[in-house]
Amino acid sequence: MLFRTVVGVLVVPFLCGCVSYEEYRSLQDDLSRSKRNTNDIITQYQRDLLHRRKSQKENSSRNEALRGEVADLKNQLLLDNKKEEPEAPGGINFEKEDLPTGAKIESGGLSLGSSLLFQPGQASLKKHQLASLDQVGDLLKGKYASYEVLIEGHTDNQPLRSTRQLFEYNIALGTARASNVFKYLSKRHSIPEKRFQVMSYGMSRPLNEQSASTEQGRRENRRVVFRLKRRIH
């Protein structure tokens, strides 16, 4: 398009009247320079286009590789979390007579539904509604004062509505809830921090996988579990 425009401009003088040989040569030189400039612009544009396409292809390949690595890590973590955790030497199970209000026995551990401790989707403990957790604190400070304690955070399989994140959100939520329970028991009941371990399983250990997507199943899976581990003295 540029070349045609230049040619049109240079031909006009010939149509308007006679020109000298010097003017003719000057016009020819201008035309040649315009053609060279146009070719240089086209060549540079083609190079830039090829470079952009190459960069896009490389970025796409890197992104695909990163997505694959992230997926592999997530799958590995899910598999690791699904493995049964070995019983720690000296660990014992809670007894039914120990159960605080609203608690259940889960594979020897003591399970509290998240609704007893947290608002939906929140990690901060409810205020003035922690009678069950205080009963757990009394057990850990009294009858089971000689044991280390593992606090597990479990969630349902629902993503965070605002971002639609699933895996990362549930792992983080389980961690935050278990950590806040640990901090409360340590501070409120003066239990040494070194006795506690905190772990989040997110949504990877539902009580019943077949009902995990039902409202009742999700409610049951949102929980904090306490397990007695190694005897410390």
12 vs 24, higher pLDDT: 24
Output the CA torsion 95→100→101→105 (10° steps): -40
| Residue-level pLDDT at 223 | 96
pLDDT beyond 80 at 24 = no
pLDDT in tens, 29-74: 767 776 777 777 788 878 888 888 887 877 776 766 666 666 666 5
CA angle 211, 213, 214 (to 5 degrees): 70
Which fold would CATH assign to domain 96-231? 60s Ribosomal Protein L30; Chain: A; (3.30.1330)
pLDDT beyond 70 at 137 = yes
pLDDT category of residue 233 using cuts at 50, 70 and 90: low
Q: Please, are residues 147 and 193 in contact by the beta-carbon 8 Å criterion?
A: no
| Residue-level pLDDT at 224 | 97
The per-residue pLDDT of the chain, averaged, comes to: 79
Least confident interval from 5-9, 43-47, 121-125, 168-172: 5-9
As a whole number of angstroms, the distance between CA 196 and CA 173 comes to 18
pLDDT category of residue 6 using cuts at 50, 70 and 90: very low
pLDDT category of residue 7 using cuts at 50, 70 and 90: very low
Residue owning tokens 């639609």: 164
pLDDT in tens, 192-220: 999 999 999 999 899 988 888 899 999 99
pTM exceeds cut of 0.85: no
Residue owning tokens 């057990």: 139
